Structure 1
Amino acid sequence: MHAQSSELFSLQGRTALVTGANTGLGQAIAVALAQAGADIIAAGRTEPVETAAQVAAAGRTLHFVRADFAAGGAARATADVAAAAAALAPHGRIDILVNNAGTIRRADSLDVTEEDWDAVVNTNLKSLFFLSQAVARGMAERGAGKIINVASLLSFQGGIRVPAYTASKSAVAGLTRALANEWAQQGINVNALAPGYFETNNTAPLRDDPVRAPAILARIPAGRWGTPADLAGAAVFLASRASDYVHGIVLPVDGGWLAR
């Protein structure tokens, strides 16, 4: 008997670990998952007070785990995050992992420092892998789990003045496929979202740029920058039973940018 569509997208009884849920895209994803029925564990440097209020308004709980994903020692640090999250989860397990935490440093490639490179790659790639590894161990034991990485349009394109970011997000796309190949047979779906140009803190310098802002907008077929809420439906899809036979995709949510 086939499940009804409302059941396919329901996250009732699930717990999602979302990194970087304090603002922007991570906040929108966490709230969307809560509205679909999931309880949320938020991991990051700053307690997500506003996100917690929105999750509570949806009738779900949010617990916070403090973590610095830019720091060294990613394997140990992320294992601690995974253990703390599982201990806080209502059912003692993490069903959904959203690797959203990310950072960007803008500079001409001739001027990028090793410190800037490491801060971006540690956050966007190294910690993402080791947190996925730590959480996937429990998922593999249960034979079920959903991992959603947040990639970027720069998983497909080169970008300008963000070489470490482009390198890390290109690697996230490849890593998504690699982990999907290994973990699909263990019941774990590994996929990625690739947001386009969204109104977030990271894109504020672009939106304030009198040259680049109109050039970007002119290329978006939808005729506007994305808002964080535009990512909600795609996130719920990849977190739910509706995507059980979807493995290793990088799903652009970009207002048509890549089609242009």
Structure 2
Amino acid sequence: MSYGNDEVRWEVITAFVRLGLARGEKVLVLPCPGVPAQEVLARLDFPSASTVAARERGQLVVSSMREVIAPDPEFTAARQMGWLSAETDRATAEGYAGLRAFIDMGWVAALGAEVEVMMHRETGAEELFTDRPYTEICAYDRRRFNRTVIDAMERAHPRTLLERLGGLRTVRDGDGVLRFIGEADAANQEEFSRALRLALAHTAAARRLTVDLTRLHFLSVGCAVGLLTLANGAASHELIQVRCDRGQRRMLRRLGGGSVPSLALTEVVGPW
């Protein structure tokens, strides 16, 4: 994930930690260096002391990257990954369902680590997750990392979190697929329509466009109508394929999708 203000960071940490505790996992929080453990716990406990019992029994641990790599003075990917693997094994041996870690990447500058070393770790960490009950969020403060690094990390990770609940992200793949992620509701309708118009303009020469709705948590009637309207008016396109789930397909058909000549609705069953 990336964030541009501290409130977003705390919202994600709190949700991630509480979900892990509720699932019976051991939870490790490595906050940005300079953020006291007391502040982390105060944020997690607001408005009630909800994590006290978890801390007392060792289910919730607030640590730091310096402690993780100790006694080594410098960060190495091998040292960090070895420690996390051992902690995952320890968590399951203690009876927890697994281990989850929130790691704020502010430690890179604090420990004087090379960004290239960190990027190498991020792109080669598959062994931490393969057949292992381990979950990790790497958090990048956009005030500390430049856009090039953020973009590279978004490509390297299998998932990139929305900054806030209710947000909408659009991704244009190299193969001409326009993907929508998050919520296409009234608040995001203009962004949704703008992304469609741009994608139609960029694919006019190819005369084909694929729109993937399968990673939307919500599709409003307004956005669905906007999609059908733009598809119906796209005279330059001979095919506009829309990948959707069963509910989205039903909505689009009821709104008149079957009467748009160039529109093909393809139902896709999601992995979840």
The alignment's TM-score, normalised by the length of structure 2, stands at: 0.38
The alignment's TM-score, normalised by the length of structure 1, stands at: 0.39
Larger Rg: 2
Greater relative CO (CA pairs within 8 A, separation 6+)? 1
Higher strand share: 2
Higher helix share: 1
